[in-house]
Structure 1
Amino acid sequence: MKKKFLTMLLLVSCITMAYGQRKYAIGDIYREGSIVGIVVQVTDDGAHGLLMSLDEGEANWSLKPNGGLFDTVTGFTDYEDGRKNMEKLVYLINKMDFSWDHFPAFRWCRNKGEGWYLPAINELITINKAIHGGKLEKNKEARKRFNKILENNGGKKIGRYNVYFSSTEKDEMKAYAIYFVSGILGYATPNHKRYKDYVRAVYRF
């Protein structure tokens, strides 16, 4: 009987691995190979979703490599999917006289590895919602729990008044950013591209 039970358990485990049926919830730590992050959004079946990096950086949205002002319209205007904005950046770099050094915030995310990118503004709003317990309203206790998970897994907590850049451009001078002081949508605001603000990378799994 014991041998039969172990065989069945092994079979279930193999099926789960084969079909990727592991389920995740918001706030779980995802560790698959070299990909590590905190889950901030999931599909209904819990098999797929959005990760946020455990760590963060500080970087300008755009800046000349020598430190001079670099303000230009890029066309990175997708509000929903930062991958599309990153694709436009790759196109600019390949076809025009640009480099990753012109876009430090994007470079920081790219340097985390294949698949990581600078989130669009609505993806940051999704993170804001996850931090505050699933609603766009202030929830101090939920924010504390979220930050505790980050710190317990070697990450950096979300600074209450830190401004985080999105990849979504507003105009030649500004890009959209957010700070997570509360879950209220109104805390998404345009910020000057040449400012050095905080950056979190995201990854779709």
Structure 2
Amino acid sequence: MRMKEIFKNVETLHVVETQLLASLRTASLLVLLLAAVSCTKDTDIAIAPNTDTTQPICFEIGFAWQGAGGMQTRAATDKDFRTTWEDGDAIGIFAVKYKKGETATLAASGNYIQNVKLTYSNATGTWTPATPLYFPAEENMQLDFYAYYPYMDLTEINPPTQMAFGVQTDQSGNGFNASDLLFAKALNVNKGSTASLSFNHLFALVEVDISERADNTPLYVADKLKVSLSGVQNYAMVDLSHNPVYPIVITGISPSDILMHRMDMGDASKYVYRAIVPAQAIVAGHKMFTFRQDLDGNGSYADGNEFSLSYTLPAQADLVPGKALRYKIKTVETATPDPNHLYAVSNYYPHVGRVQGVVFSVTNGGKNGKIVSLDQSPEGLIWSSVDDRDFGATSVNDGQANTNTIKAYKLNNPASTVTFPAFEWCIAKGAQWYLPARDELRELYTPKAAINTALAGISGTTQLDDSVTYWSSSEFNKNNYVWNVLLLDGHGSAYLKSSKYYVRAISAF
């Protein structure tokens, strides 16, 4: 479907923050968070020669201490950046051996341990190697361990000293987790000692928050919103033997758009979007983010409509390994609805800009019609504070006329203490809103399922409720009673004006 550009000039306020993801230094006293211990156990797999089968290699595997407010990027990370390993996560392990007092370097192949896969079990909290791992049989030997996540089947053309790694272009689901390249090493490990592997992040994280408008009102983002980090390099070359390990972006590959991962911030109307990419500089003027949503022509940027817009970077952005670059973007809506647009029942109104209501009836080929409000009164309201009075709101099909009658009564009787809470709730929405007449309420009965489907696509709305009775604006007789309608069957009844029932506003266009 061709998308509508409903924001002609997207104005933005931006806040850029960087926070430490993980220290890129290792030290002997690193604190390990959520560490899991793994040791080789007896198996039927053949044992490598020149190993001491009485000395299995044990690993303590975790994450480097982040400090207060430190950030992690795993898909298992919650909104506060607390990280855990997930069941089935797999890391690759290399080790080189050497005599004490000497040194050794990780090679492309032929290492003492060559890319052995360790898989995490959430049930046991342990890591299991694909093949048993033991210390060397020789005395006075030490091991240096190099580990990375996620595990890959490395070959001669993609060795650990020249490892090409590309982040997923779709990080909306599991691709986010699979893009988080982690690295750890443990040096000078003696026979019988535990190898402590404290993982750090080799790539950068970009986060964008678009949950508010420029006027600080909430931006209700529907489930179908797609946010992309646009035109970035997604491949890097990594040498695990280098100190420090620093991925180098592979040039000569066309930039990619990264579909970002949505993170629920604990509020149904508030999300942030995250993507993991190699370190790189993004120049000023680059179209950094694109926002796209398609709901079959209905809704709005605020509440569910199709749209396509972008955010242009005002200044160069430097993406650094192990750090997060955070944006908060506030939008200003500038769309103008087309007065000749043709609507159908269950469409959102207006067709661009912020949604005001859902269409429940149309005339003039769809150019005109009526909409029902996105919400209803939070509790039952009285029609008026007196029962035994005729106010002249007698139309059963024109709620606007009835509402105007009540407005005129208030205007012409300024000293009157009579109140009209049901009308006042509708009028408070704006001059175009009114309390529907009896037959206008009945019109909601037939399309109520389609209307509720439309309302379900908008955060913060209230669906039409079969279990409640709604006030109409139509007086039943000249004194005590007023019509109301139960949407369970569309039938009307008459009740005292001082009774309490729910209210739904409507408007004509």
Q: Identify whether the pair has TM-score above 0.5, normalized to the shorter chain.
A: yes
Task: Quickly say closer, same or farther: Cα 1:84–1:200, change in 2 above 3 A.
Answer: same
Q: Could you tell me how far apart the structure 2 residues matched to 1:197 and 1:18 are?
A: 34
Task: Quickly say closer, same or farther: Cα 1:98–1:46, change in 2 above 3 A.
Answer: same
Q: Aligned runs of 1:1-205 on 2, under 5 Å?
A: 20-31=339-350, 36-57=356-377, 58-63=380-385, 69-96=386-413, 97-98=415-416, 102-131=419-448, 143=449, 145-154=450-459, 155-171=461-477, 172-183=479-490, 187-205=491-509
User: Structure 1: which 5+ residue stretches go unaligned?
Assistant: 1-16, 64-68, 132-142
Q: Could you tell me how far apart the structure 2 residues matched to 1:82 and 1:70 are?
A: 20
Structure richer in strand, relative to its length: 2
Alpha-carbon displacement from aligned partner over 1:84-132 (angstroms, at most 9, x marks no partner) = 1112112211112436x6100000000001110000111111112322x
Q: Could you tell me how far apart the structure 1 residues matched to 2:337 and 2:451 are?
A: 31
Q: Determine if contact 1:62/1:71 at 8 Å carries over to the other structure.
A: no
Query: What's the TM-score, normalizing by structure 2?
Result: 0.31
Q: Could you tell me how far apart the structure 2 residues matched to 1:86 and 1:104 are?
A: 12
Q: Could you tell me how far apart the structure 1 residues matched to 2:354 and 2:337 are?
A: 19
Larger Rg: 2
Q: Determine if contact 2:387/2:481 at 8 Å carries over to the other structure.
A: no
Greater CA deviation, 146-155 or 77-86? 146-155
Q: Could you tell me how far apart the structure 2 residues matched to 1:18 and 1:182 are?
A: 35
Deviation at 1:71, TM superposition (A): 3.2
Query: Aligned with 2:359: secondary structure?
Result: strand
Deviation at 1:43, TM superposition (A): 1.1
Q: Could you tell me how far apart the structure 2 residues matched to 1:61 and 1:51 are?
A: 21
Runs of 4+ in 1 over 6 A off after TM superposition: none
Query: Aligned with 1:105: secondary structure?
Result: helix
Alpha-carbon displacement from aligned partner over 1:11-37 (angstroms, at most 9, x marks no partner) = xxxxxx797221110001113666600
Query: Aligned with 2:356: secondary structure?
Result: strand
Query: Aligned with 2:388: secondary structure?
Result: coil
Q: Determine if contact 1:79/1:168 at 8 Å carries over to the other structure.
A: yes
Q: Determine if contact 1:92/1:98 at 8 Å carries over to the other structure.
A: no
Deviation at 1:62, TM superposition (A): 0.6
Q: Could you tell me how far apart the structure 2 residues matched to 1:111 and 1:98 are?
A: 20
Deviation at 1:192, TM superposition (A): 1.9
Alpha-carbon RMSD: 2.1
For 2:333, the equivalent position in structure 1 comes to none
With CA pairs under 8 Å and 6+ residues apart, which has the higher RCO, 1 or 2?
1
Q: Could you tell me how far apart the structure 2 residues matched to 1:118 and 1:102 are?
A: 15
Structure richer in helix, relative to its length: 1
User: Structure 2: which 5+ residue stretches go unaligned?
Assistant: 1-335
Q: Determine if contact 1:53/1:201 at 8 Å carries over to the other structure.
A: yes
Query: Aligned with 1:146: secondary structure?
Result: helix
For 2:96, the equivalent position in structure 1 comes to none
For 2:186, the equivalent position in structure 1 comes to none
Q: Could you tell me how far apart the structure 2 residues matched to 1:18 and 1:115 are?
A: 17
Q: Could you tell me how far apart the structure 2 residues matched to 1:54 and 1:18 are?
A: 19
Deviation at 1:146, TM superposition (A): 3.0
Query: Aligned with 1:102: secondary structure?
Result: coil
Count of aligned residue pairs for this structure pair = 168
For 1:134, the equivalent position in structure 2 comes to none
